[in-house]
Structure 1
Amino acid sequence: MLEMALLQVEAYCKGKNLVIAGYYQANENYSDNEMNHVARTIGRKVQDNFHDACLFMIDNRKVKAESVSQPYKIYTLRESNWKDVDCKNISEDDIAKEECLYALLKSGAQRQLCDFDNHFDDVRNDWRNLKLNDLINRCT
């Protein structure tokens, strides 16, 4: 299923002159917030095709509007290992994006996210998340 999803995303991106620039993962188990073999493997494949690729890991315990810390970690591939990106030097634009993120979490927008598992269960679930992307664009 994963291979089919990646092939479909790749074809979509080529048709729209886009690149796959990263991979996100939210582990199924609430307390499992570690990057696993699948995330590392897919991240490497993405990085093979896009040098500045990143891996975006969701920390399930922090995905709530009242959270005071980022509900995710960003990693980049450096010296053959995935390294946590230091997000301490943030710009005003980054702060606005963080505020948007927490507003979206407070509204429950994350419940609208459809991934390929949802799409394969019912093809009416749009993996491109056009409605959610529209909400994000209006927020930022």
Structure 2
Amino acid sequence: MSFIRTAVVTVALSTGLLISGLAQAHPKLLSSTPAEGAEGAAPAKIELHFSENLMSKFSGAKLLMTGMPGMSAHSPMPMKAKVSGSDDPKTMIITPNAPLTTGTYQVQWRAVSSDTHPITGNVTFKVK
């Protein structure tokens, strides 16, 4: 009986370690340029830096204008932008097709790394 108990405990511990290892493989947003809540000049590109290498085929982002001066009650407007990887496989780059005008913007991102589990989030910034 003690052999069976030992085997069950060993399998349970091994499974727990495997699951916790997979959970740690989820990409986390480490930083962005512009940073969350930043206010300043219009960026030519937006960079998102993650903790894991991204699978660009399954990762992506949308750029939305969420606030416009003088128009407090408008719904978010999608902005045309190119989403691409960079030389660093942990970085996603969002390049607006046209210069951003004064207002509040949000990048809604989806990041997928080798564990294939999608993680989503957003970054908001203001252009003055």
Higher helix share: 1
Structure with the largest fraction of strand:
2
Q: Report which of the two structures shows the higher radius of gyration computed on alpha carbons.
A: 2
Using CA pairs under 8 Å that are at least 6 residues apart, name the structure with larger relative contact order, 1 or 2. Answer: 2
| TM-score using structure 2 length | 0.26
